[in-house]
Amino acid sequence: MGQILVIVESPAKSKKIQTILGSNYRVAASVGHMRDLPPRDLGVDLETLKPTYVVSEGKSQVVSNLKRLAGMSDEVILATDPDREGEAIAWHLKVALRLPDDVKRVSYQEITRDAIMKAMANPGRIDMKLVAAQESRRVLDRLIGYQVSPALSSKANLSLSAGRVQSVAVKFVVDREREIQAFQPRGYNVCTLRLAGHPNVSASLDMTPFVPKDERLWKASDAQPFAGPQRVKLVKVEKKPNAVKPKSAFTTVDLQGVAGKIFGLSAKEVMAAAQTLFEQGLITYHRTDSPNLSDEGIAKIQSYLSGQGVPIADQVVRHKSKGDAQEAHEAIRPTDVSAATAGQTDTEKNVYSLIRERAMLSVMPNGIDAVTQYVFQSERRVPGLSGRPVNPMYMAKGSVVQEKGWRAYAKLERIKSKDTPLPLLEQGRIYDGSVAAVQKTTEPPSRYNEQTLIKALEAKGIGRPSTYAQIMENIKNRSYIEPKPGSGKSPAFVPGKLGYYIVDALSRFSFMSYTYTRAVEASLDKVARGSMSYVGLVRPVSDQLTSDIAERLEAESLALKGRCPGCDQPIIQKHRKGSGRGKGRSQGSRAFWVHIDDAHAAACVQYLNDEHDAPVLPPPEVTSPCPQCQATLIRRYSKTGSRSPYWAHAERGDGDACGVKFFPDVDGQPVIPEPIPETKCVDCGGIMKKRKNSKTQQPVWVHVAKKPSCGNLFIDDIDGVPANAAKKA
Which residues are tagged catalytic? 285
Give phi and psi for 395, each to the nearest 5: -120, 135
Is 443 in a helix, a strand, or coil?
coil
Q: How far apart are CA 19 and CA 513, in angstroms?
A: 49
Is the Cβ–Cβ distance between 43 and 37 less than 8 Å? yes
**Other CB atoms within 10 A of residue 69 CB:** 16
Q: How far apart are CA 50 and CA 507, in angstroms?
A: 29
254 alpha carbon, distance to own chain's centre? 13
Half-sphere exposure in the Cβ direction for 20 (13 Å, CA)? 20
Is 667 in a helix, a strand, or coil?
coil
Task: Show Cβ contacts of residue 664 under 8 Å, excluding neighbours closer than 6 positions.
Answer: 646, 647, 670, 671, 673
Q: What is the DSSP string of 262-289?
A: HH---HHHHHHHHHHHHHTTSBS-S---
Q: Which of 103, 469, 119 is nearest to 286 (CA)?
A: 469
Residues in the chain, how many? 729
Q: Which of 517, 504, 509, 505 is nearest to 456 (CA)?
A: 517
- Residue 697 vs residues 73, 166, 431, 640, 665: alpha-carbon distances, Å: 57, 46, 86, 17, 18
Q: Which of 367, 374, 365, 366 is nearest to 421 (CA)?
A: 374
- Residue 312 vs residues 246, 346, 401: alpha-carbon distances, Å: 11, 30, 19
Q: What is the DSSP string of 460-488?
A: TT-S-HHHHHHHHHHHHHTTSEEEPTTS-
As a dihedral over the C-alpha atoms of residue 18, residue 20, residue 23, residue 29, rounded to 10 degrees, the angle is -20
Q: How far apart are CA 125 and CA 105, in angstroms?
A: 5
